C-alpha cells in the first residue's frame, strides 16, 4: 500500500517521477475534450475537515478528467457532526469501496493516522501545520516549468511560516531537489524548530530577498494565530509585505508564487499578485498546474503502478 503523506519522506527520484508524470499529463488540459479513460471504474473520495477552494476542486477535476468517480463528503453535513470519530469515518469510506482517500484535517499527523487505519491509498491534502505535499509539488512543478530546473535556485519563503504546512512541504521538496531555501519573516512567525530545518533564516525582508530567484509568499493565517504575534496588519505589511519596491533587491527575473488564498494589501500587493509593473507572478499558473500534479498523484496511486516510498 502506498500513500502521499509528506514530501519529507518522498525521495528525490519519486519527486522527479511525479513532476515528469504531471508534465506528460498536463497536455490533456489543453485538449478541447479533457477526458481520458485511465482511471475508469475507480472512485476517489475527498473528505475535508477544513475549507478549501483550490485543492478540493482540483482533485475533483483531476479525477474526473481521468474518468474516475469523484465523491466529496461534506463533513459538516456528515455523521462527523453526530460525533463519529476520524477512524470510523475513514473506515466507513473504505467499506463503501473508495479506491483512494484525499483528506484535509486541522490536526498535524492526521494523514499518517488515517493511513494507519485503512488499506487504500491516502493523500494528505493538508494536515494542521505539518504538510501539504501536493501544494509543495505544484510549487516545484511551476518553478521548474518556468526556471527550467530547481537545482541551485535561491528560494525565499516569506511570511507566516510558523502556521504554514505549505512552507514545510516546500522546504523538504525544494532542498531535496537541490534548491537553497531562505525563511523570511518576523521572529514571532518562525517555527519553534527552525534551527533543525535545512534553511537560512532572515528577520529582515531586504536582506532575505537580496539576489533570490523565487519568492514564495505565504498567507497570514490569522485564524490559527494566538493574539499578540503581530503588532498590526498594517505594520506587518510595511515590514514584510511583498511589493514591486521590495522585489527590487531580488534578481531581475524573480518569480513570485503564492499558494492562495491571498490577503491582498497585507502579505502581497495587487501589482505583484496580478503580475503588473513587470513582475513575473505565477499565481494562476500554480492553480492550473495543481490539476496536472493531482492527476499525476491519483494516476500513480490508483492506477499507474505506485511510487517506491511512503509506506
Chain residues that interact with ligand CP, rule: CB under 6 A: 52-55, 126, 132, 135, 259-261
| Minimum distance, C-beta of residue 138 to ligand CP, in the bound complex (Å) | 9
Q: Which is nearer to ligand CP, 99 or 139 (CB)?
A: 139
| Minimum distance, C-beta of residue 50 to ligand CP, in the bound complex (Å) | 8
Q: Which is nearer to ligand CP, 53 or 116 (CB)?
A: 53
Q: Which is nearer to ligand CP, 94 or 162 (CB)?
A: 162
| Minimum distance, C-beta of residue 259 to ligand CP, in the bound complex (Å) | 4
| Minimum distance, C-beta of residue 308 to ligand CP, in the bound complex (Å) | 26
Between CA 198 and CA 180 the distance in angstroms is 9
| Minimum distance, C-beta of residue 194 to ligand CP, in the bound complex (Å) | 22
Q: Which is nearer to ligand CP, 54 or 64 (CB)?
A: 54
Q: Which is nearer to ligand CP, 7 or 94 (CB)?
A: 7
Q: Do the beta carbons of residue 113 and residue 231 sit within 8 Å?
A: no
Amino acid at each position: 500500500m502506498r500513500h502521499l503523506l509528506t514530501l519529507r519522506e518522498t525521495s528525490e527520484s519519486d519527486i522527479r517521477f511525479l513532476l515528469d508524470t504531471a508534465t506528460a499529463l498536463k497536455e490533456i488540459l489543453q485538449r478541447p475534450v479533457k477526458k481520458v479513460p485511465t482511471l475508469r471504474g475507480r472512485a476517489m473520495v475527498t473528505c475535508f475537515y477544513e475549507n478549501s477552494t483550490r485543492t478540493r476542486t482540483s482533485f475533483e477535476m483531476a479525477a474526473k478528467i481521468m474518468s474516475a468517480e469523484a465523491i466529496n463528503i461534506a463533513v459538516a453535513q456528515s455523521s462527523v457532526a453526530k460525533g463519529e470519530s476520524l477512524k470510523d469515518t475513514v473506515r466507513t469510506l473504505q467499506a463503501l469501496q473508495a479506491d483512494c482517500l484525499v483528506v484535509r484535517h486541522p490536526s498535524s499527523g492526521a494523514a499518517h493516522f488515517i493511513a494507519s487505519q485503512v488499506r487504500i491509498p491516502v493523500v494528505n491534502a493538508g494536515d494542521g501545520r505539518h504538510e501539504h505535499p501536493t501544494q509543495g509539488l505544484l510549487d516545484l512543478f511551476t518553478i521548474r516549468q518556468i526556471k527550467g530546473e530547481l537545482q541551485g535556485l535561491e528560494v525565499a519563503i516569506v511570511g507566516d511560516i510558523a502556521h504554514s504546512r505549505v512552507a514545510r512541504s516546500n522546504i523538504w521538496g525544494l532542498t531535496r531537489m537541490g534548491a537553497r531555501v531562505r525563511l523570511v519573516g518576523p521572529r514571532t512567525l518562525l517555527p519553534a524548530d527552525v534551527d533543525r530545518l535545512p534553511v537560512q533564516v532572515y528577520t529582515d525582508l531586504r536582506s532575505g530577498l537580496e539576489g533570490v530567484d523565487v519568492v514564495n509568499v505565504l498567507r497570514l493565517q490569522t485564524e490559527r494565530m494566538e493574539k499578540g504575534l503581530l503588532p498590526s496588519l498594517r505594520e506587518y505589511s510595511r515590514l514584510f509585505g511583498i511589493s514591486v519596491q521590495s522585489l527590487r533587491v531580488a534578481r531581475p527575473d524573480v518569480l513570485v508564487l503564492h499558494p492562495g488564498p491571498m490577503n491582498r494589501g497585507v502579505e502581497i500587493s495587487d501589482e505583484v499578485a496580478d503580475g503588473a509593473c513587470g513582475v513575473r507572478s505565477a499565481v494562476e499558473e500554480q492553480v492550473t498546474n495543481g490539476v496536472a500534479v493531482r492527476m499525476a498523484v491519483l494516476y500513480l496511486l490508483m492506477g499507474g503502478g505506485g511510487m517506491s516510498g511512503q509506506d
